[in-house]
Amino acid sequence: MKKISIVLSLIFALSLANCENGTQSEIKVISPEEMQTILELDDVQIVDVRTPEEYKDGFIDKSQNIDFHSPTFDEDITKLDKSKPVILYCKSGGRSAKCSKKLKEAGFIKIYDLNGGITEWKFNGHELKTLQ
């Protein structure tokens, strides 16, 4: 009987801990097609984590450039709305994956990471914008 009581107490404590956390951060790696759908349906923030030089060569419409390697990167991402979904992309997916983890640690709720980055976006025939 004592063992059952201990097990039930442990289960109860774990379930309380899960309830206290409320909404959990979520990182989802998405394809260009999934991203296109999300852009049409959701009010999202799109962040290009490449360098400003890379950004000038072409970027996804409505994205903002926050350079992952910038010394102000951690401060810059705090200006984003944590309650709104964020789509991250870079050239091929490496920097955006690292950035996704930073956003999750910072408390962002829904994080999308474009699989293959802007390279995959272009390969799939999606349009890029350039600074004029």
Q: Which domains does the chain have, with CATH numbers?
A: 23-123 (3.40.250.10)
* pLDDT value, residue 85: 95
Strands 45-48 and 86-89: parallel
Asked whether the predicted pLDDT for residue 16 surpasses 60, the reply is: no
The percentage of residues in the chain with a pLDDT greater than 70, rounded to a whole number, is: 82
In this predicted structure, what is the pLDDT of residue 1?
54
Give residue 15's pLDDT band: very low, low, confident or very high (50, 70, 90): very low
What's the pLDDT band for 57 if we cut at 50, 70, 90?
Answer: very high
Rounded CA separation 66/112 (Å): 16
What's 112's DSSP letter? E
Better-predicted residue by pLDDT, 132 or 79? 79
CA 17, 18, 23, 28 dihedral sign is: positive
Phi then psi dihedrals of residue 49, to 5 deg: -95, 15
pLDDT at 11: 43
**Mean pLDDT to the nearest integer, 97-104:** 95
